Amino acid sequence: MRRYESIVVLDPDLHDDDIKAFTEKYSQLIMTQGGEVIKVEDWGTKKLAYLVRKRDKGHYILFDYVGNPALIFEMERQLKISEDVMKYLSVKLDDEVDLEAFKQQAKPQEAAPEEAPAAEAPAAEAVAPVETAAPVEAVAAPEAEAAEEAAPAVEAAPAEETEEPKAVEETATERKESENE
Amino acid sequence: MSKPPKRRSFPRSKVCRFCADSSLKMDYKEPNILRIFITERGKIIPRRISGNCAKHQRQLTTAIKRARNIALLPFTVPRR
């Protein structure tokens, strides 16, 4: 089993329901192929660095999961077919991940949902070390990664805020277009 | 020993920023950190100027190229 990460850039005009259905669909796909979803992050609508399909915005979604190479194959095949997907990128984070170890980590994750994902990363890289090493890492990890934890949270908030003005902008541009006609 | 006077003297950091600051995370998902290491036109700043060590420069290059691929960073910034 390997650990992968896929970033998908979706059409920014999609409804929230469509985006929810999309994440659901691919989470299901990962599960049915014998993988395990570690986390799904919705970054919201962001401005693109360059135009993609004549659009300057995109909706970013990050999948972090464990699976076999066959899963990635199927995943990318379906992403290619999908019309809503503007861009995607899959990165292999780790070879040889023990699925059971992740399932065990998933349990404390429920107790401390904020710290668990941060603690996971160093633990995943060092699967070999003995269990006793884990608490030491866990103590060190939140300190180092607390700042990183805060960063995505800050990013997420403005993204949500921008959604409303964006809707206004769109109507504005639509008006302009109609005026031009 | 004082430095011999040279004509070309531009500011240059001699320490790799990723080695010096462990909290500085190199990740293609963090375009704002990567942005420090590209020029205004979107080019990757060479090692001799940024002062990065070879290892981190290599990692940085892949990170920037990945970020470009998913439109988090520009390939080029066209002149106005």
Q: Can you tell me the mean pLDDT for A53-63?
A: 92
Phi, psi dihedrals of residue B26, rounded to the nearest 5°: -95, 115
AA letter at A33: Q
Q: Tokens for A136?
A: 């030491």
Residue A53 DSSP label: T
ipTM: 0.74
Is residue A79 within 8 angstroms of chain B, CB to CB? no
pLDDT digits (tens, 9 = 90+) for A95-120: 887 766 666 666 555 544 444 444 44
Is residue B32 within 8 angstroms of chain A, CB to CB? no
Say what the pTM is: 0.62
Alpha-carbon distance of B15 to B36, in angstroms, equals 15
More confident residue, A158 or A106: A106
Looking at beta carbons, which pairs linking A77-82 to residues 24 or more positions away fall under 8 Å? A78/A26, A78/A29, A79/A6, A79/A8
The predicted pLDDT at position A33 comes to 86
pLDDT digits (tens, 9 = 90+) for A35-48: 888 889 899 899 99
Q: Look at A89 and B68 and tell me if their CB atoms are within 8 Å.
A: no
Alpha-carbon distance of B8 to A43, in angstroms, equals 44
**CB of A100 within 8 A of CB of A114?**
no
The predicted pLDDT at position A50 comes to 92
Closest residue to A50, CB basis, from B23, B30, B71: B71
Is residue A122 within 8 angstroms of chain B, CB to CB? no
AA letter at A154: V
Q: CA A99: distance to chain centroid?
A: 19
Sheet strands side by side (includes A36-52): A36-52, A55-67, A2-10, A85-94
Q: Hey, is A170 helix, strand or coil?
A: helix
Closest residue to B66, CB basis, from A50, A91, A144: A91
Q: Hey, is A63 helix, strand or coil?
A: strand
